[in-house]
Structure 1
Amino acid sequence: MASAVKDSRPGYGHLLRTPGAWTFLLPGFLARQPFAMLTIGITLLVQSTTGSYGSAGAVTAATGVSMALFAPQSGKLADRFGQRAVLLPGVLIHVAGVAALITLALAHAPLWALLAVAVPTGASTPQVGPMVRARWAAQLGGSPLMPTAAAFESVTDEFTFVVGPVLATALCTGIHPAAGLVAEAALTLAGGLLFAAQRRTQPPAHRTPADDRPHASALSVPGVRVLIVAFLGIGTVFGGMQVSLTAFTQHIGHPGINGVLYGIFAAGNMLAGIACGAIAWKVGPRRRLLVAYGLLALATTPLWTATAVPLLAAIGLVVGLCIAPALISGYTLVESLVPAAARTEAFTWLTGAVALGQAAASSAAGQLTDRFGPSAGFLVPLAGTALALAVLLTLRAHLAPRASTVVSQTSAAAAGTAPEERERELASA
């Protein structure tokens, strides 16, 4: 039995043959595509109408902060009442918020008005990625294919970040500054409704009986709090790169290259994700996270020194290659740290942390760019990842799954696994 489990560990083909997988993967891909278009669409629209990277960064930050604060609440509600019940109203509110933001920006409304409407726009952003991950967890349980599923989701996320920024930039620069956000709203509406319609594969709602205590929040798990800090640091890379690449390409007089450069950065992330999912790892996800994060902090160091497009593209590719292993390892750890009743919430905390880090980095990079030039914004990813790495190294003990959790998951996946093999799995974690 143990050998059978070992043989099934790697392989996207085996994963994609999971019953019902395609019914939520295809609409999920369409529904999560707008996530990669939202912040860059806001940045390009607001910068075009105000002429200020600081204002664009502030509005983007307001969107990201509200997204980060409300996403875990959305995840908690999805765990309790089902994904469809949360997704349908969220999609409609988000589309209305984007429409209001476009209208105010084109009317040259004051900054406070843009910030006010950015809050509900970000808060209602559909959390499709965490919902898809929760569906994988519900389908696979304690299967050894869960790391492959985490890798597959990272690849899917990064593919959207290859396509999304290029599409949004092309629409904003080639058609109209608001065209990127118009497309984002349309895709959110169509994809969100299609995904919500897939009721058969959604995880069961974990309603709290009247005589039971309320569900513990995923935030009560120490390991989740450590992962939130790590994902905040990853968010600073996304936000700092987005604003700084926009400013850099504007500065050299080739704004259309922005989407290409960001696409190269995201492509590195996607390629690394594909490789991570195809490898049968002998090292546990905690060690992989620490190594990958150290490499990520190192890779961001030379960004601010790049003055030529080819060099910046090469460094961005390396940075991207380091992000996917860190993300995949973090998401893989959730399954062993958090009970099923709080898993969607945990995934949304991590996604929200990325959004919050991205928002803070967008604002900081925008301010640095306005004051010191386009290269100054690249210091933000370096500072964010270095601080997060220090926290990870200090609190890494909290990322070790409890023995009872790992043994129960191993038993569910392979009842015949020998005790000594279980001990090795715990040691490698």
Structure 2
Amino acid sequence: MTSEDKKEHIQEFKLDPDSELRFEVESKGEKAYVTLKSGLAEIFGTELVKGKQYEFLAGAKVAVFTWKGCCLELKGKTDVTYVAKETPMVIYCNCHAALELMRIEAERENKKGPITLVVGPCDVGKSTLCQILLNYAVRMGRRPLFVDLDVGQGQISIPGTIGALLIERPASLDEGFSQEAPLVYQYGHKTPSTNSTLFSMVANQLACVVKERLESNKKTKASGVIINTCGWIKGGGYKQLINHAKSFEVDVILVLDQERLYNELVRDLPSFVKIVFIPKSGGVVERSKNSRSEARDQRIREYFYGTPKNPLYPHTFELKLSDVKIFKIGAPPLPDSCLPLGMKAEDHLTKIVPITPNAAILHHILAVSYAKKEEDDLLLSHVAGFVCVTNIDMERQTLSVLSPQPKPLPNNILLLSEFQFMDSH
């Protein structure tokens, strides 16, 4: 490396109205810094404070948009940097304005505000669009609910879960939305297709609780709900979308980047559901299988250890095997000839199976369930949080876990997840 390369790389960009600066930080260990010098700018609906330096780490894919024009300074090493004049932000803003009109009417008539489902294939910017719409809503003084049904990435909690979160202020650029008291349900797999019967049950349960939440808070009721979905849109995935639309009683569906999906939904859903086709942003980047898997590991690591800006210090402690009950959901299917009379083959998908702790559950994530009794409500109870199995000592009959809070655990009923976390701290 020459001394020239080591110099801090500083670029200045003057953006015209309705344009955005896009950049990516790819290389491990690299950082980039953005400062708004003049004018107004935002990142995915969160306004930048003039003169404040914002830091972005490896893996960041950022678009700084301006409605009125601005001047930005970009420091550090980025892999891709360019200014885009063509962006779908005006369309996104029009969607927000239409939702806002529905909220004003809902407030006037004390009705439910718009329930919006965001759908489309993988890597078209669904999560980003949800973030923009939520940020715009809270900037108007609304208190919408965010529902995340994307089990692969997990924006509200760790991957393998679905959940709901009340949004009261815009997302911060390094920490995202404030994670106060999220409602989280354990599903335990990377994709809904692994056990779609279980996924439907858990999603329907979340829909029931979300409806109750809306009724209990006037401000949130009028503000409505924004629902993020996963990129599985064909076959069983399409059936899931139809199921979500019914169980959440959706009013608006925003379809990103897939006209075929748009046309199918128009054909299959009642006419009172407004279905809108939206182009994806040119800044959306397709992620490899590897980078998705890394992002999942990162989400789990952040759950236990926090972020560089906001570190957390988890606890490790031992539990007696006799003090906890561990279950998994779903048993291997039996052939029809072995089934008791009247039992359906798919019942095995939601069967609660007790697990005798053994080496196979090492490094697995366990959800701490709020269930009172395993038989009744284990499937449909939300969870208090997660621990990771770090050691099993069969001789001493103990289990060591990594936990975000000290012992005791809030409950002794634990649910096994397919996700593993190798603690490298």
Q: Same fold (TM over 0.5)?
A: no
Looking at secondary structure, tell me which structure has more strand per residue: 2
> TM-score, normalised on structure 1?
0.23
> TM-score, normalised on structure 2?
0.23
Higher relative contact order (CA 8 A, sep 6+): 1
